Structure 1
Amino acid sequence: MSESRSFSFAGEDGLDIQTVEWPLDAPRAVVIVAHGMAEHASRYEGFARALNGAGYAVYAPDHRGHGRSVPSRADLGHMADEDGWAKAVRDLRTLTGIVRERLPALPVMLFGHSMGSFMAQRLAIDDGEAYSAIMLSSTNGPPGAVARLGRLVARAEQFRLGRRAPSPLIQSLTFGAFNKPFAPARTDFDWLSRDEAEVDLYVADPLCGFDCSTATWVSLLDALPGLGEPEAIARMPKDLPLYVFAGTEDPVGERGRGVARLLAAYERAGLRRVTSKLYPDARHELLHEINRDAVIADLIAWLDGLGEG
């Protein structure tokens, strides 16, 4: 296996999007990884190495406002003043084009975790033909009343604090609320994993766990309803292979309820190649959970099975 390496490409507004590549001399396919909110691409090193071992080259960008894709440390958590989440989706589309230019003969798969899974849902709707498969980790389905209320709160906080400021109220209603079911909690991020060592690594990482700006939250929450619209899902290729997996104790997926809504929406739309798996007792970050080896093995087995179909 080759060493990982980094490069950058320009987003539509000229922002440098820093990207980690785990290359292979003769890969069978490529996986693009879209990480979640308040983390970064390098956390997927173990996952990428496992994919390398199975013959898959891996590319993972730091989304704008995350990792090294920031003009300065003060911009951590701020995607853009306007439409930051949509711009991050378009960054992924740009990276997909770069990968196709570099490796034109290979299938390209997209893996999205949490916020990255919503980006992957958007690309499945708008650009589904560009991918040979899409994997959604710790995702959710069409939002309900609570999410609609969250949009109103985020807009009010943006008006009150400004676009670039974080909001303690939004943080309390999201990440803070996610942790409450695990009280008495050892840390503010027990909801991520049952593996205490992995949680401690997250807490100690200066590029993880930060508060995002009000504009980032507004752009994300405004985007979610469109992902669940029947007419949007109907635009997805009916034979696009989809792998949806989550933990039964993941608060982002409402402990499986939100995942069930998503799967039901896909079934109503007539999508024919949807595979799903729920892992009992697992929390949000399945790639950093105590059963991560089994999770990764299951995902690679699914990918390998596509080539046999």
Structure 2
Amino acid sequence: MSSEKFYYSSSDGKTEIHAVKWLPKHEVKAVLQISHGMLEHIERYDDFASFMAEQGVLVVGNDHLGHGSSVSDEGHRGYFGEDGNEYLIEDMKKLMNIIKDEYTVPYFILGHSMGSFLVRQFITLYGGQLSGAVIVGTGQQPKLLVCSGIAISRMIAVFRGWNYRSAFVDYLAVGSNNNMFKPARTEFDWLTRDAEIVDAYISDKRIRFVFTLNAFYHMFRSILRMNEQEKINSIPKELPMIFLSGEKDPVGNSGRGVYKASDIYRQAGIRNISMKLYKEDRHEILNELDREQIYTEISDWIKSILTGK
């Protein structure tokens, strides 16, 4: 197994997007593209991607705009651009095109947290080009709450501008995530039970920033768009989907939001949907104490699609 870093031009016409691919030592049986979450970067998936590469799955992923090394300068960290939601989706599509030009094997996609919202939007547009979708750490936020987030972001931006980093909007979006784990060792205990992972997250300078109003606005728009019934109905009915989440993930409302999300796709007639909640696990199941089991189950799911068993 080996890994390679590379760059490609963002759909914003300005930024160079940083990406990494993890290559199997021998035959490439499939590709798995990763869409990472809010306030992280693709290299946090190195352990998982390395495991999958050892199973013959080429893994690739990019730092979304405003994250990791996909920033033109530090002032653009946590900023998506004027048409941010469209840029994120089209950057994912550009990456898929690059890899598909190199490998003609089944192509899967995995999204975590904010990345799961982007993937759920992505499959309404490009689901016909995929062999399966892995939805990790997702939720089903009430439409009224999401619309309120959009309205509040717009209102504050009138006075402060879209580059403003609002502690209030940040709290509305993620501020209560740690509440169910109090008394907590850190403010990020909601991510995982693995203290070493939490400490590494806290010390990672590529992560310690607050979203701009622009980024929150476009993240909320992504959530609205992924839930439009007409778009959900456009997803190929034969596309396999699997929903995986921690039983104690606040983003998924302790599993309730994950059930709601998966049911939406079942009701739309998508035939191959499965779901699993991992007991005691929190938000980042790929960084949880039982992560090796989860890695294996994702690998087995992909193998089942490839073999038809």
TM range (shorter): over 0.9
Checking the alignment, whether the CA contact within 8 Å between 2:127 and 2:239 is kept in structure 1 is yes
Alignment partner, residue 258 of structure 1: 257
Checking the alignment, whether the CA contact within 8 Å between 1:142 and 1:227 is kept in structure 2 is no
Alignment partner, residue 107 of structure 1: 106
Q: How does 1:13-32 map to 2 (within 5 A)?
A: 13-24=13-24, 25-32=26-33
Aligned residues with identical type, % of pairs: 33
Q: How does 1:1-309 map to 2 (within 5 A)?
A: 1-2=1-2, 4-12=3-11, 13-24=13-24, 25-80=26-81, 82-103=82-103, 105-141=104-140, 143-309=142-308
Q: Deviations over 1:236-294 (max 9, x none)?
A: 00000111111121111111121111111111101001111111221110011111111
CA distance in 2, matches of 1:111, 1:267: 19
Q: Deviations over 1:179-213 (max 9, x none)?
A: 12211121111110111111000000011242111
SS across alignment from 2:250: coil
The normalised TM-score by structure 2 is 0.96
Q: Deviations over 1:107-150 (max 9, x none)?
A: 11111111111111111111101111111100123633322322
Change (3 A) 1:238 1:226: same
Question: Over aligned residue pairs, what C-alpha RMSD do you find?
Answer: 1.3
CA distance in 1, matches of 2:68, 2:193: 24
SS across alignment from 1:251: coil
CA distance in 1, matches of 2:141, 2:233: 14
CA distance in 1, matches of 2:74, 2:165: 14
Give the superposition deviation at 1:102. 1.2
CA distance in 2, matches of 1:51, 1:222: 32
CA distance in 2, matches of 1:55, 1:155: 46
The normalised TM-score by structure 1 is 0.96
CA distance in 1, matches of 2:67, 2:221: 20
Consecutive unaligned residues of structure 2, counting only runs of 5 or more, are: none
Q: Which residue type is aligned with residue 277 of structure 2?
A: L
Q: Which residue type is aligned with residue 15 of structure 1?
A: T
CA distance in 2, matches of 1:243, 1:277: 8
Give the superposition deviation at 1:302. 0.6
Count of equivalent residues: 306
